[in-house]
Amino acid sequence: MEAYLGIDIGSISTKGVIIDPENKIIASSYLWTEGNPVKAVKQVLKELEEQIKDQEITILGVGTTGSARKLIGTMLHANSIKNEITAHAIGTLSRHKEVRTILEIGGQDSKIILLENGIVTDYAMNTLCAAGTGSFLSSQAKRLGIDVKDFGKIALTSTHPTSIAARCTVFAESDLVHKIQMGYERKDIIAGLCYSVAANYLNNVAKGKKIYGPVIFQGGVSKNEGVKKAFEDLLQTKIITDPDGHLMGALGSAILAKNSKKKEPFSFSIKESNFETTGIECKGCPNHCEVIVVKQDGQKLDAWGNRCPKGSLLS
């Protein structure tokens, strides 16, 4: 069977999927990047290979997206390297064709994508502050002594969510400590944090955007039922979630690889290779560009970052 591989490499998590010609996910992996995208992708490949080892599958294309898409795309000889907006839109529309608004909150950034007749018409991203993202919720869960996976369930038991300032991480944390010291119930504080995440997103990422339904909520934070309910209350509309909402970027990347004209078999043996990335300052002209050089088993794979031909000569 022909299949296609999609990798979404984020700052916090790395996701991978293998799809069949009908865009059905036949293998998937989700793990923490831990500041080492190369190591994370190798582990993702190992888990994906294990899941399909008993099947006769030939992977004919690889797509990458996310903050490290260029690096990982070079490593895997990807035939599709696209930004997160494109990948998330393609992945979502493959399952929810009528969606007009995508709310996405990941580990360290968030985005909104507006669509009309299956075409992206507008988008916005927030990458300047971690307030209202998965890492923010994780740090607050740790402060409260609970597992972040239980955050949503506990929030749903609250009938009086506590108001928490969420304009930035520092204000939110100081306000949280103040509310704890005031004696507010933990479930109300947790629910308040969920509402503050949703409000922060709507007041910053979605500021000035007209949100039309159907609306889908995805990314790792979409697993938090408390944040989903907060969005429904604030927007006064039903919010769709998908069991694979955290994999939509990887799914979109795999579909883009499938639709690419350039196709060649992919081998999982590439995960055994040794990859080295170095930054070299080019002094060939006054620009002093930092050229990124990627090597596989000592051989130069690619280099980028130069603004004139002199930089491309570095090895």
pLDDT in the model for residue 312? 59
First to last CA, the chain: 39
70 vs 170 pLDDT, higher one: 70
pLDDT at 215: 97
Q: Is the pLDDT of residue 230 over 90?
A: yes
pLDDT tier at 108, thresholds 50, 70, 90:
confident
User: What pLDDT is attached to residue 57?
Assistant: 93
pTM of the entire predicted model: 0.85
What tokens were used for 292?
A: 């990124």
The answer on pLDDT for 276 being more than 90 is: no
How far is residue 41's CA from residue 220's CA, in Å, rounded to a whole number? Answer: 18
pLDDT at 214: 96
Cβ atoms 17, 27 nearer than 8 A? yes
Q: pLDDT value at position 168? A: 65
Please determine, for residue 129, whether its predicted confidence score (pLDDT) is greater than 70: no
User: Are 230 and 253 within 8 A, CB to CB?
Assistant: no
Burial environment of residue 93 by CB neighbours within 10 A (0 to 12, 13 to 18, 19 or more)? buried
The tokens describing 309, both together, are 């031909």
Q: What is the DSSP letter of 279?
A: E
**How far is residue 52 CA from its own chain's centroid?**
24
* 122-146 mean pLDDT: 77
Computed on alpha carbons and rounded to an integer, the radius of gyration of the chain in Å comes to: 21
Q: How far, in Å, CA of 93 to CA of 248, rounded?
A: 10
Q: Provide CATH 3.30.420.40 ranges for the chain.
A: 2-93+250-272, 101-241
Is the predicted pLDDT of residue 229 greater than 80, yes or no?
A: yes
Compute φ and ψ for 66, nearest 5 degrees. 100, 180
- The answer to whether residue 136 scores a pLDDT higher than 90 is no
Closest by CA to 233, choosing from 198, 185, 209, is 198
Distance CA 43, CA 33 (A): 10
Residue 166 pLDDT > 80: no
pLDDT at 165: 73
pLDDT at 170: 67
- One-letter amino acid at 140 equals Q
Residue 178 tokens read as 């103040």
Nearest to 68 by CA among 253, 269, 307, 298: 253
Q: What pLDDT, on a 0 to 100 scale, did the predictor assign at position 174?
A: 79
Q: Is the pLDDT assigned to residue 87 strictly greater than 80?
A: yes
Beta bridge partners of 300: 295
- Per-residue pLDDT of 176-199, as tens digits, reads 788 888 888 889 988 988 888 888
pLDDT at position 8, please? 95
Q: How far is CA 55 from CA 41, 106, 142, in A?
A: 22, 32, 41
**pLDDT reading at 252 higher than 80:** yes
**Amino acid of residue 197:** V
* Both tokens assigned to 70: 């260029």
Nearest Cα residue to 141 out of 193, 82, 85, 179: 193
State which H helix or E strand residue 201 sits in: helix 186-204
Which fold does the domain 2-93+250-272 belong to in CATH?
Nucleotidyltransferase; domain 5 (3.30.420)
CATH of 101-241, one of 3.30.9.10, 3.40.50.1360, 3.40.47.10, 3.30.420.40: 3.30.420.40
Q: Which helix (H) or strand (E) holds 6?
A: strand 2-9
